[in-house]
Structure 1
Amino acid sequence: MIFFDIDATLLDHERAEQMGAIDFHRTFKSDMEYSENEFIERWNSLSEKYFEKFLANELSFQDQRRMRIKDLFGHHLNDEQADRKFNHYLSLYKSNWLTFEDVIPCLQQLKKQEFRLGIISNGDYNQQLEKLGLIKIHHFFDCIVTSSEMGVAKPNPTIFQKACGKAYVQVHESYYIGDRLETDAIGSEKAGMTGIWLNRKNNITHTDVAVIHSLDELTMLLKDLKA
């Protein structure tokens, strides 16, 4: 069975987040002191900071959203006010959800070869389902597992092993493809899977895991790994 990450692997999350942040800044620039570039840098930093707290079970999914907004606009905002502002950003972010160009051809090819496909993602289960639905690839996957429902996040080996159990497949017979070296590729390797690093940004390789630079390379790599 082949499991995939979602954000920055299937969904062009970086582009969607940046475009959403730009539009959000244009809407509220009179309420903040940041230039567009400064705002994007600040937004990305806050997103990473508070999402990590969510993954560590220090904040709820909703609270990590609220904290981003309150850090930007001030902690005088109550939860309802913060939610309204974040929901405005969320609508802009969602409007920019797109797959990478290599995603659907890859998934179609794997299905033709009768591979079972699954998802293992850090994040909120309902939001990740919504992403798969809106970018029209939900139907490719037999099993969808997220950190919010499992109570543990990548790179902890448990989430990979639980996903295999849920899919009724052996860990050592499963593959995992993701864009983060430590979190995805090495994390899944430590769990007993074959980890594959989807390194879209450069030609760096790594001695401990298989590396591809596009999902167009995946079918050939799987043949080589089975040989």
Structure 2
Amino acid sequence: MIKAVLFDLDGTLLDRDESIRNFIDNQYERLINSLAHIPKEKYRTRFLELDSHGYVWKDKVYQQLVKEFKIQDISWEFLLQDYINEFKNFCVPFPNLHNVLEGLKENNLILGMITNGYGQFQMDNIEVLGIEKYFDTILVSETEGIKKTNPEIFERALKRLHVVPSESIFVGDHPENDVKASEFVGMTGVWKKDNQWGTFETDYTVEDLSELPNIIKKLNDESSPK
């Protein structure tokens, strides 16, 4: 019987690709006096390339942008701080986010979140999405001192939720960091499909969060005595 559902954040609950595009366009427009010598499309495209879907922290991204585009009026440190301060204002949830989380809670499921990233930055994004209230525990890698794929961060979350791995599922967009890593500790991994990772063979896949209740029902039906 499934008692707990745990989620990744970026690419799973937060549409990070849309959020980052919205942010970078806004940053360009706000700082146009210093960036006008760079075509907007070129600034956005290069940022996204260097960002590598969030797997490169923005200090490295902005250092490279300043160097490549010969940005002189503002420093990479200024651009980084602007990102830290402003990104949360452009967070876009995936469709059906609140409805799904509310439905899971109404069905007496315990909810948790495990996300790699910087503590306050990730918590700010969670707060803006308005979803913190649904979760019984939230683990951010910087705060915890460990990150996915380390089994300990999954085990730590399960211990705080007072459930065992076989009673839990983990939903995430990254085949290795989320699905395989959670399965390694005995959880059921559910892939929130993301085409950037190509094809990935796994038992449970959702393209929309609204498909999740059906997977939980199927798992519970399979575990019920015949």
Taking structure 1 as the reference length, the TM-score comes to 0.81
Q: Percent identity?
A: 26
- Cα shift readout 1:16-56 (whole Å, capped 9, x = no counterpart): 1011112223334754764333322321233239845xxxx
Equivalent AA in structure 1 for residue 51 of structure 2: S
- Mark the runs of 5 or more structure 2 residues left unpaired by the alignment: 222-226
Report 1:181-192 matches (<5 A): 181-192=175-186
The 3-state SS of whatever aligns with 1:117 is: strand
| Residues paired across the two proteins, number | 213
The residue identity in structure 2 corresponding to 1:176 is: F
Ranges in structure 1 where 5+ consecutive residues have no aligned partner: 53-63
Indicate which of 146, 149, 160 corresponds to 1:155.
149
Residue 66 of structure 1: aligned partner: 59
User: Quick check: 1:225 aligned with 2:219?
Assistant: yes
Structure 1 equivalent of residue 118 of structure 2: 124
Whether 2:11 is the aligned partner of 1:8: answer yes
**Residues of 2 paired with 1:174 and 1:90: CA distance?**
33
- Residues 133/157 of structure 1: CA separation in 2 closer, same or farther (3 Å cut): same
Aligned to 2:96: 102
Deviation at 1:150, TM superposition (A): 2.5
TM-score (norm 2): 0.82
1:113 to 99, 107, 122: 107
Q: Residues 122 and 46 from structure 1, CA distance in 2 versus in 1: closer, same or farther, beyond 3 angstroms?
A: same
Distance in 1 between residues matched to 2:26 and 2:100, nearest whole Å: 31
Contact 2:58 2:80 in 1 (8 A): yes
CA displacement 1:75-126 (0-9 Å, x = unmatched): 999xx94332223334443221121221111001101100010100011122
1:193-212 to 2 correspondences below 5 Å:
193-199=187-193, 201=195, 206-212=200-206
Counterpart of 1:167 in structure 2 is 161
Could you say what the CA RMSD is over the residues aligned between the two structures, in angstroms?
Answer: 2.8
Q: How many Å apart are 1:160 and its aligned residue? A: 1.2
